[in-house]
Chains A and B, each alone.
Chain A
Amino acid sequence: MEEIRTDVLVVGGGPAGLSAAAEAASAGADVLIAEGDLHLGGQLVKQSHKFFGSKDEFAGTRGFEIARLLRDEIAQCGDHVKIMLNTTVSGYYPDEKLVTAMVGEEEYVHISPKKIVLASGAQERLIPFPNNDLPGVYGAGAVQTLMNVYGVTPGKRVLMIGAGNIGLIVSYQLLQAGVEVAAILEAMPRIGGYWVHAAKVRRLGVPILLRHSISRAIGGDVVTGAMVCELDEKFAPVGEPQKVDCDTICLAVGLTPSNELLWQAGCKMKYVPFLCGHVPFRDKNMRTSNSDIWMAGDVCGIEEASAAMIEGRIAGMSAAASLGFKVSSENFEGCHARLHNLRAGEVGEKIRIGVSGVTVDGWEANV
Chain B
Amino acid sequence: MRQTENIYIGFKEKTLFCLGAWLTPNLGLVEKEFAKLVLPSYEDLAMDLSALDACDVNGAILLHALIERLRKKKITVILYNLPSEAEHLLNITRLSEEASLSAIRAKESLFATIGAGAYRVYLGLTEYLSFSGQLAFSLFYALRYPSSFRIKEMLRSIQEHSIKALPIVLLTSMLIGLVIAYQSALQIQKYGADIFVVDMLVISVTRELAPLIAAIVIAGRSGSAYTAQLGVMKITEEIDAMRTMGFDPFRFIVLPNVLALMIGLPMIIFLADIMGIAGGMLAARVELGITVLEFVGRMEEIFNINHLFVGLIKGPFFALIIASIGSMRGMAVENSTDSIGINTKASVVSAIFMVIICDAIFSIIFLELGI
Bound pair (A, B):
no
Q: Which residues does A use to contact B, with CB under 8 Å?
A: none
